[in-house]
Amino acid sequence: MENRSVEFTELIPRLPEELGLECLTRLPYAAHRVASGVCRRWRDLIRSRDFYYHRKQFRYTRKVACLVQAVSGGSKESDGRKLVCGSPSYGLTVFDPVGGVWDRIDLVDEYPNGLPLFCQLAGCEGKLVVMGGWDPVSYDPVTGVFVFDFALGRWTRGKDMPAKMSFFAVGSYADRVYVAGGHDENKNALRTGWVYDLTQDDWTELPRMSRERDECEGAVIGEEFWVVSGYGTDNQGSFDGSADVYNFISGQWRRVERVWEPGRCPRSNVVVDRDGKLTSWSGLDPSVKVGTCGLTLGDGRVFVTGSEYQGAPNGFYVGEMVIKEDEKVKLDKIQVGDGFSGNGVVVRSGDEQQHRSRRWWRGIGVGEEDTERDGGAELGPTSGLLGGTQG
């Protein structure tokens, strides 16, 4: 029997066009893949950027958490090479806090056995951007950029990063991803910064920051990209208490002192509270004091993972930021889907050699599932720790 897709002259037969559009706009993101198979017109509409922005305008998109998770042991061949025996491989997990649904994104074709170690994620206008990291076999730094479109459900290759960088800060604003700091392939801390334009698929160098910032953390606050803490080449591990702040409008940096606890590693651990102040995820609740990662999901909601003490199992929590002197966040533990409860490696904090052996979860960004899907990117990620994207 010949298999033909149905074609409609109206979006929904016997309904006015605007009412049909309203019905499809209200479809939950999880139903988009099935709906795209109904007819060519539905498929073209659901996959279009205009439909994403239409859903976003009427607040039918939402943010999801995108996580880099250890999914299996190594020992698989990759381009004729074998991964180090026992080394975990890493994949992308998506958690929808509204439906409580866990899912996994297909791996990038270039890395069929797992993502680069310590890669960075950012959610940007319904797309999830994965960049940098270390080759999982050689541990050499890589410059690859990969963009997952939630609407199309597929990866595309972006323009490579202009330089090899590791442990840099990342943040997204509009349709751009900003990176700064980290260190080069010779372990020299960096003052440099770059911006990646998704629409143009191109990189532009930013002015230099006030100081070197290796293992810094990025956060977008309003119209500014904050590069928090870090240390210089000659001061390994001596985390600074200042931040360099890039204004998206003026295109200039300014330095802000005493915004972070000196000596504390900021990687995957920076959160902006409702008062606009920087604080640590690990200090918000006793249940997530160790190995903490977190991200904001909008409307004061947060997603946090961590454990109560060293060696304890990781827990996963959603909560709401509250403004009280004795309580900064209220967390509720959530159920983890089958196959998603394994540990991950803490990619963004701690000593590099330690990273190679510890298992960890790492947060990457926030995204919008509308992203036609995020991260983030609305299921578009905004913060560099846990990935989020709006759907």
Q: What is the pLDDT of residue 73?
A: 53
Count of all residues that appear for the chain in the document: 391
Burial of 360 (0-12, 13-18, 19+ CB in 10 A): buried
Q: What is the pTM of this model?
A: 0.80
Please answer whether residues 130 and 117 qualify as being in contact, where contact means their C-beta atoms are separated by less than 8 angstroms.
no
Question: Looking at domain 61-367, does it have CATH number 2.120.10.80?
Answer: yes
Q: What is the pLDDT of residue 196?
A: 98
Q: What is the pLDDT of residue 61?
A: 82
Q: How far is CA 260 from CA 55, 228, 297, in A?
A: 38, 7, 23
Q: What is the pLDDT of residue 353?
A: 25
3-state helix/strand/coil string of the chain: CCCCCCCCCCCCCCCCHHHHHHHHHCCCHHHHHHHCCCCHHHHHHHCCHHHHHHHHHCCCCCEEEEEEEEEEECCCEECCEECCCCCEEEEEEEEECCCCEEEEECCCCCCCCCCCECCEEEEECCEEEEECCECCCCCCECCCEEEEECCCCEEEEECCCCCCCECCEEEEECCEEEEECCECCCCCECCCEEEEECCCCEEEECCCCCCCCECCEEEEECCEEEEECCECCCCCCCCCCCEEEEECCCCCEEEECCCCCCCCCCCCCEEECCCCCEEEHHHCCHHHCEEEEEEEEECCEEEEEEECCCCCCCEEEEEEEEEECCEEEEEEECCCCCCCCCCCCCCCCCCHHHHHHCCCEEEEEEEECCCCCCCCCCCCCCECCCEEEEC
For 319-362, what is each residue's pLDDT tens digit? 887 645 555 567 889 888 777 765 443 322 222 222 222 222 33
Q: What is the pLDDT of residue 322?
A: 63
Other C-beta atoms lying within 10 Å of the C-beta of residue 59:
7
Among residues 387, 363, 389, the alpha carbon closest in space to that of 378 is found at 389
Instruction: Please give the backbone phi and psi of residue 68, each rounded to the nearest 5 degrees, phi first.
Output: -90, 115
Which region, left, alpha or beta, applies to residue 268 given φ > 0 means left and ψ of -120 to 50 means alpha? left
Interatomic CA distance for residues 138 and 120, integer angstroms: 18
Q: Residue with structure tokens 């997952």? A: 148
Please answer whether residues 359 and 339 qualify as being in contact, where contact means their C-beta atoms are separated by less than 8 angstroms.
no
Q: What is the pLDDT of residue 86?
A: 55
Burial 193-226 (b: 16+ CB within 10 A, else e): bbbbebeeeebeebeebebbbbbbbbbbeeebbb
Residues 6+ apart with CB under 8 A from 325: none
For 6-17, what is each residue's pLDDT tens digit? 455 679 988 999
Q: What is the pLDDT of residue 344?
A: 43
Assigned token pair, 77: 């061949």
pLDDT < 50 regions, the chain = 1-6, 74-85, 323, 343-389
Q: What is the pLDDT of residue 371?
A: 30
The rounded radius of gyration (Å) of the Cα atoms in the chain is 21
The residue extents of the domains of the chain are: 17-56, 61-367
